[in-house]
Structure 1
Amino acid sequence: MNAKRGFYNVVFGMIGQVVSIALGIVIPRLVLVSLGSETNGLLSSVNQALVYLNLLEAGIGTATLQALYKPVAEFDVNNINCVMSATNHYYKKVGKWYFSATLCLAMVFPVLIKSELSYFTIFSVVFISGLSQVINFFFQGKYRILMQVEGKSYILTNLGTIVNVAASISKIFLLLNGFSIVALQIMYLFFNLIQMLYITGYIKKKYTWLDLSVTPDYTAISQRKSVMIHQISGLIFQNTDVLILTVVCGLKTVSVYSMYVMLFGMIGTAISTVNSGVSFAMGQTYSVDKKKFLVLYNVFETYNMALTFSLYCVANIFIGPFLMLYTRGITDIRYVDKILPFLFIATYLLSNGRSAAQRVIEYAGHFKLTQNRSIIESTINIVVSLICVVKFGIYGVLIGTIAALLYRTNDMILYASNKLLGRSPIKTYLKWGSNLIIYIACIHSFSKIYKEMIWSNY
């Protein structure tokens, strides 16, 4: 059953990603042409600011995932209900706080940034964008976690693909007909409501045994505070760049940054979709059969690194000519750059390449034991970024990210190998080394053609 669900998760996940990538390439171009780089930068800044409000979630989701692996593997209905009841209780509290925080952010955000956009426009974009997450906390968040642990992510993926297609077609229609960014956000909220109604209806029909009125088992997700520290560090790490650029360099620079994140991030999301398709099986196996898990871990680590390096190698080769075509006619800021692709790809290689080690730490529930290491990673990122951004601009924030990743990626590999897997980390480093050599050889082979055919004409 797990193998079948894992197959479905990967296949439907990849189909969804292909559709999302196709639509994701079209819409930002329309936003740039129709509304300008400043509006595009605003969307990126608002999204990053709202991500910080997810700290109110306080690690509940990840702690619930870890707590559900064993009872779901054994189909212990009573324990599942107790854990879900506790999660439901916490999520409703978070939903109330998130709504209040969104309203406050919507009022303050227009004052904090320099923009030619009106106060009402910025306020509306922030508030309407935040309402989608409020809906998630109140209604569907807990159900998504349960379906993910059971290996039914493919259902959520298929639903997301359908909603994404419908929403994207609507966005294209609105942009081509001159509607404002506020209208686009209202439309996006509408499709989130439809998605919520489907998920709640599905749960009521398929999970008749689920009872959220039972006595909550708060101890099962007691590690949420330690998880929250990891989340705080992770959010700071992942979103510091945009906020620093917003304050120091302006929304147009943020638009450039977000363009590279969008393109390279699509690849990262595709890899994450494949990995998530089998993650539930690995999490359940870790709880009941460590010997079998070690075999799965070695396979996962090998294919994840090979997939990551190969896809980003192709991306490195074609990002230049693609951006030249994609941003043609946009003159308010330059998007094509020789150095940025290498810096961005370095961050994604380091981040995605450590995925196997990161997952085993989560399966083991070693959140509290590794929280200080996560804090150090975020500190390195902030300090180096703030120092370098003044002199190097957008390059500076990426240098800070790379510095932090070099520390934390090595730390995760050593921790997972020595303390959880009982094996030498040399195996992992050999995989890193072999993939890196092949990557460099491929890039070097194309470098002369790349230089003569592309940069000589730019």
Structure 2
Amino acid sequence: MRIQNSLKNMFFGLSGQIISLAMGMVVRTVFIYTLGIEYLGVDGLFTSIFLMLSLANLGFDTAMIFSLYKPLAESDTYKIQALMNLYKKAYRIIGGVVLLIGLSLFPFLSYLMNGETKIDNINTIYLLFLLQSVLSYYFVYKQSIIIADQRNHIISKIHSIFIIISNLIIIIALVTIGNYVLVLSIQVAFRIIENVYIAKKADKLYPFLKESNNASLTKPERKNFYENLYSLFLYKISGVVINGTDNIIIAIFAGITWVGIYSNYLLIITTITTFVGYIFYSITASVGNLNVNAGKEENYFIFRVMNFANFWVYGFCAICLWILINPFISIWLGEQYLLNMLIVFAIILNFYTAGMQNATTTFRETTGLFKKGKYRPIIAAIINIGISITLTQAIGIVGVFLGTVISRLCVYFWYDPYVIFKYVFHKSVKSHFTRYMWFTLLVIVTAIICEFVVSLYSNNMLINFIYRLGVCLIIPNIIFFMVFRKSKEFIYLLNIVKQIVNKKTI
């Protein structure tokens, strides 16, 4: 049942990401040609600002989902009601905090942009972003029970429908009116309606959520929850800093136009990250359920399988990005929107090192190891900001991404596996680091081989891109298959795929 739910979540999640990518590319193209790259830069900057403001929510959603695993598995309705009552109150407080912080930043908007901007209604645009962020907190908390119950495919289906409808209306508005405030208003309205609809869906799936009740957690339960939440807040703070400060630093030190150019790369990277990450996110609830019911040896083997799948998927994607991303943007938007290959390398390195954390992050969160090393992420956040700013001033925007990579390697690369192996698997972590290095070396060698092969052929831009795409699809997968075809992890994954194809019950 766990794998069935994971596969269903994965299928609808990936389908939703394909739809989001296709619609996003069309909207982005129309956006650039109707409004210009500067508006795109403002969109990216404000998105990053409100990612930073999500610090108010940091860790709460993870703590919620983790707390729901056990009562859902045991059908403990009273405990679920008590948790959801707590979440409802907390999210209303979070929404108020975000509103106050967002309004306090309002007078300082001009300091976040390097150089003058010709964009009108910049204050209105910011307030619309703030409105969207604040209102979502009053409805989004109910999504947690759907996710914890391994049914996030329901959310994926609803999100896909809203993405299609809203983007079609946005494209029409861009072409006919070309007003960013109107476009943003449409986006905000659909986001709010979507969250309300999902909340109503949760009420329908779990009718006891609508029942009037005074269910509450015991004092020890509340204490344990808030201790986990505090640890998660500290642990995840660097994640928000790492992902949220890049555009802000680029805007301050390089200018809003560079944010717009980078945002095209970020759209592709984010889509792939979300697309690929959904494979692992879809099985998070299943791993949480597994940790409640399985022994450490079974947990360890599943971790190895996840880590192996993580390498194959992210290694393959990193190679594809190196070979394809600049040719793709050149065809899509034109050579004036290209970044040099040193910056591209830093962006891909950031993508790969972040992606390779998925297995360890999943097991850390689903086993409740929130309190171990809880202050280390603060160090990572400080390292990230300090090094990113220093390197950006010295070598340009490539320093932003190198700073992010360095901060991640200083903390997460070694500490997450150490904690999991010590407290969950009770094994030496040395074998994990050996595999990590072996996986990374293989990715580098394969990328070099692919680069050599694509250099042998050059034709017109479109045909050359198709040739490059063929090389990327074939060579990395053949190499990975030849190296790992006899490994237990590969055989296990292959058996799952065979059972899916044969439509057998897993």
TM-score range, shorter-chain basis? over 0.9
Map 1:34-45 onto structure 2 (within 5 A). Answer: 34-45=34-45
Question: What per-residue deviation string (whole Å, max 9, x for no partner) do you get for residues 129-168 of structure 1?
Answer: 22223222112x2211111000111000111111111111
Note the alpha carbon deviations across 1:45-93, whole angstroms, 9 max, x for none: 0000011111222532221122111111222111111111111111111
- Pick which of 44-53 and 70-79 moved more: 70-79
Q: Return the match for 1:392 from 370, 378, 395.
A: 395
- Larger displacement relative to structure 2 (125-134 or 150-159): 125-134
1:68-121 CA-to-partner distances (Å, cap 9, x unmatched) read 111112221111111111111111111222233334434542464344235x62
Q: 1:171 to 1:420 in 2, by over 3 A?
A: same
Distance in structure 1 (CA, Å) of the matches to 2:415 and 2:386: 19
Q: Does 1:423 align with 2:427?
A: yes
* Structure-1 residue corresponding to 2:487: none
- Report the CA distance shift for 1:402/1:180 in structure 2 as closer, same or farther (over 3 A): same
Aligned counterpart for 1:263 among listed residues 268, 273, 280: 268
SS at match of 2:193: helix
- Distance in 2 (CA, whole Å) between partners of 1:447 and 1:58 is 40
Q: Secondary structure of the equivalent of 1:371?
A: coil
Q: 1:410 aligns with which of 395, 410, 414?
A: 414
Q: % of aligned pairs identical? A: 21
Taking the TM superposition and a 5 Å limit, the aligned residue runs for 1:122-161 are: 122-139=122-139, 141-161=140-160
Task: Note closer, same or farther for the CA distance 1:325–1:80 as it changes in structure 2 (3 Å cut).
Answer: same
Deviates more, 1:141-150 or 1:353-362: 353-362
Q: Are residues 392 and 294 of structure 1, via their aligned partners in 2, closer, same or farther at CA, if it must alter by over 3 Å?
A: same
CA-CA distance at 1:195 after TM superposition: 1.0
Which residue of structure 1 aligns with residue 99 of structure 2? 99
Q: Which residue identity is paired with 1:427?
A: S
- Quote the residue 1:320 is aligned against: 326
Distance 1:310 1:190, change over 3 A: same
Deviation at 1:208, TM superposition (A): 1.2
- Report 1:6-405 matches (<5 A): 6-110=6-110, 112-113=112-113, 114-118=115-119, 121-139=121-139, 141-210=140-209, 211=211, 213-217=213-217, 218-219=222-223, 221-222=225-226, 223-291=228-296, 292-328=298-334, 331=336, 334-405=337-408
Gaps of 5+ in 1: none
Q: Which amino acid aligns with 1:42?
A: V
- AA paired with 1:247? I
- Using the TM superposition, give the Cα deviation of residue 22 of structure 1 relative to its aligned residue in structure 2, in angstroms: 1.2
Q: Give the partner amino acid of 2:293.
A: V
Deviation at 1:299, TM superposition (A): 1.6
SS of the residue corresponding to residue 138 of structure 1 reads coil
- Is the contact made by 1:354 and 1:413 (CA closer than 8 Å) also made in structure 2? no
- In structure 2, give the amino acid aligned to 1:80: I
Question: CA 1:236/1:336 → structure 2, altered by over 3 Å: closer, same or farther?
Answer: closer
Q: Which secondary structure does the structure 1 equivalent of 2:282 belong to?
A: helix
- Deviating more after overlay: 318-327 vs 42-51: 318-327
Contact conserved, 1:63 with 1:221, CA < 8 A, in 2?
A: yes
Paired residues of 1:136 and 1:196 also in contact (CA < 8 A):
yes
Q: Structure 2 counterpart of 1:236, which letter?
A: V
Output the amino acid matched with 2:429.
P
Provide the rounded CA distance (Å) in 1 between the counterparts of 2:283 and 2:268.
24
Contact 2:78–2:215 (8 Å) recurs in 1:
no
Do 1:102 and 1:126's aligned partners in 2 also have CA atoms closer than 8 Å? Answer: no
Q: 1:452 to 1:106 in 2, by over 3 A?
A: farther
- C-alpha separation in 1, matches of 2:143 and 2:255: 36
- Asked if the contact 2:280/2:359 (under 8 Å) is kept, the reply is no
1:452 to partner: Cα distance = 6.6
Deviation at 1:449, TM superposition (A): 4.9
Inter-partner Cα distance in structure 2 for 1:122 and 1:88: 33
TM-score for the superposition, normalised by structure 1: 0.92
CA RMSD, Structure 1 to Structure 2 (Å): 2.3
Which residue type is aligned with residue 418 of structure 1? Answer: K
The farther-off stretch of 179-188 and 285-294 is: 285-294
Q: 1:185: how far off? A: 0.8
CA distance in 2, matches of 1:25, 1:219: 46
Greater CA drift, 272-281 or 256-265: 256-265
Q: Secondary structure at the residue paired with 2:207?
A: coil
Distance 1:453 1:104 in 2: 56
In the TM superposition, residue 224 of structure 1 has moved relative to its aligned partner by 1.6
Change in Cα spacing, 1:74 to 1:135, as seen in structure 2 (3 Å) is same
Q: Retained in 1: the 8 A contact 2:112–2:248?
A: no
Q: Which residue of structure 2 lines up, in the alignment, with residue 448 of structure 1?
A: 452
Q: Is the 8 A contact 1:65 1:149 kept in 2?
A: yes
Moved more, 350-359 or 446-455: 446-455
